[in-house]
Structure 1
Amino acid sequence: MQADLDKLRRSVSWFACVGAIAALVHYVVAVGLERCLNIQPAWANIVGFVCAFPVSYIGHRTLSFPGLNQAHQHTLPKFLSVAVFGFLANQTLVLLSLRYTTLPFWLVLAIVMVVVAISTYLLSRYWAFSHT
């Protein structure tokens, strides 16, 4: 029982660390493109996601959910599905927030990324990187 709890704590801790790094990559790229190159937020957000995806997959596979004996051919498509779901939720919430509030893109993106992270963790743990 204690070993399972310790394993869960490690998984959540690593998920938070890897997720924070991937989120930072996503955020810096997206906000940088929007502010410095005047790229529309929707496109900047897509590029940020694409840049952050490899960081997220490799980090979660090796650190957040270690000991996985399944091949990349099995886990990568599932994790990509989770990531795309998370991104679609992110993009929808960002675009709706920008349309219906006066909040700036940098703040909206930060808030949305935190909200979406919870569902991404649950789907990753119990589906994409499950041991079954």
Structure 2
Amino acid sequence: MRQTHAKSLTWFTVIGIIAAAVHYVIAVGLEWSQLLPPTQANIIGFLSAFPVSYFGHSKLSFSSQSATHKQALPRFLAIAVAGFIANQSLVIGTLRFTQMPFWLVLGFVMVIIAVSTYLLSRYWAFKGVL
């Protein structure tokens, strides 16, 4: 049975919120406790959230897509890394040129990146070979 676009989007949102919460809480917690500077804390947050994101999306958000794990994992990793590079660039630029706190900057940036991640995941990462 084919998964509807609405169901896929709903699961993507739920999994995305969970993965984003993992990323956000770890990154902000590490920065707030002064264990790491914001840019390093952001990397640890991303690495912690990646497995949550991939397995949640592969099992729930895009379960009806035809890509195998061997196809989907490298594609999704490429999307996640590109998204993280955009995330890190936006965080660094915003922190450098504004007085906004890290927790606010990271929250805004994560929402912006989520839209492109959904589109690329749905139409490329988890889509099988035609």
**TM-score normalized by the length of structure 1:** 0.93
State yes or no: 1:28 paired with 2:28. no
State yes or no: 1:45 paired with 2:51. no
Percent identity over paired residues = 55
1 or 2 for the larger relative contact order (CA 8 Å, sep ≥6)? 2
1:115 corresponds, among 91, 100, 112, to: 112
Q: Comparing 104-113 with 29-38, which one deviates more in the overlay?
A: 29-38
Question: Relative to total residues, which structure has the larger helix share, 1 or 2?
Answer: 1
User: Which stretches of structure 1, 4 residues or more, deviate above 2 A after TM superposition?
Assistant: 67-71
| RMSD (Å) for aligned C-alpha atoms | 1.5
Question: Whole-Å Cα distance in 2 between the matches of residues 31 and 114 of structure 1?
Answer: 16
- Structure 1 alignment gaps of length 5 or more: none
- 1:75-114 Cα offsets, whole Å, 9 max, x none, are 1000000000110000000000000010000000000000
**Aligned position for 1:81:** 78
Alignment size in residue pairs: 129
Question: Whole-Å Cα distance in 2 between the matches of residues 127 and 115 of structure 1?
Answer: 19
